[in-house]
Amino acid sequence: MRFVDSHCHLDRIDLEKEGMSFAAMMEKAKQNSVEHFLCVAISMDQFPEMVKKAQAYENVSFSCGVHPLHVDEDKQFTLDDLPKLASDDKVVAIGETGLDYYYSKDSIAAQQASFARHIEVGNELNKPIIVHTRDAREDTIAIMRENNAEKCRGVLHCFTESWEMAKQAMDQNFFISISGIVTFKNAVELQDVVRKMPLDRLLIETDSPYLAPVPFRGKQNQPAYVKHVAEFIAELKGVSLEKVAEQTTANFQDLFSHASV
Ligand SMILES: [Zn+2]
Ligand SMILES: [Zn+2]
């Protein structure tokens, strides 16, 4: 049995706090059957450092892009540099991009322009996009449609929205990625969405260092814990853990075909 952590920020985990080296964190993940990691960028300025931290590991792939809450922060690069940076063989996806109206309403216009540009680059390079979406259901789906996101495909990561939105995304060939939030007691609507979701559209993630699943809720998250997300989904859907592991890994390989899993 093997798992893929389809979304983590390996460069943002406070290892000192865990009293753990980077190698020990990766070993712990391995012992929990986590065999591949997609390390996700939140800005282009931080991208080179992020790659440096984990590039020695063959089982780590990377994305490149600008998180919606970090638009207009890059100093060293602009979005014009995205195609070049994202052309690197180790980069298997574009993002994370998307819209977050929950934390930032001031930057809506900049977020929308950046999101559209990421989809264009995804289509140019034939690499899928990683979409962060919060409190922006209609605009997210509309911008995906207008920019032909169904061509490069992608994933709505750390999904916490409605079944309606999940269906609209799946209609555009998108996958839905579930984080540790699903294990929270109050995540009743999300649990219902996961019950309905076809297994062949699902990915699993930790979004480390954020959103640790139960029983680690409130602590710093790490890739080893993706297994707890998978276990919870298996129970919700009444299927075996092996089935969830096998199908979500196959889904990852299907979507992120540039990754060597
Ligand atoms: Zn995100
Ligand atoms: Zn993230």
CATH number at residue 139: 3.20.20.140
pTM of structure: 0.97
Average pLDDT value over all residues in the chain: 97
Query: Does residue 261 fall inside a structural domain?
Result: no
Write out pLDDT tens, residues 176-226.
999 999 999 999 999 999 999 999 999 999 999 999 999 999 899 999 999
3-state secondary structure of 139: helix
Write out pLDDT tens, residues 68-94.
999 989 999 999 999 999 999 999 999
The rounded Å distance from CA 91 to ligand 2 centre is: 16
Query: Does residue 9 fall inside a structural domain?
Result: yes
The rounded Å distance from CA 160 to ligand 2 centre is: 13
- 67 labelled as ligand-binding? no
Contact, 118 vs 139, CB < 8 A?
no
- 207 labelled as ligand-binding? yes
Instruction: Tell me the residue type at 203.
Output: L
- 132 labelled as ligand-binding? yes
Split into its structural domains, the chain has a count of: 1
Query: Does residue 188 fall inside a structural domain?
Result: yes
Query: Does residue 11 fall inside a structural domain?
Result: yes
Q: Which ligand is nearest to the CA of 98?
A: 1
Query: Does residue 260 fall inside a structural domain?
Result: no
Query: Does residue 139 fall inside a structural domain?
Result: yes
**Band of the pLDDT at 260, cuts 50, 70, 90?**
confident
- 157 labelled as ligand-binding? yes
Domain region containing 47: 3-255
The rounded Å distance from CA 21 to ligand 1 centre is: 25
Can you state the angle between helices 137-146 and 163-171, rounded to 10 degrees?
A: 0
The rounded Å distance from CA 96 to ligand 1 centre is: 7
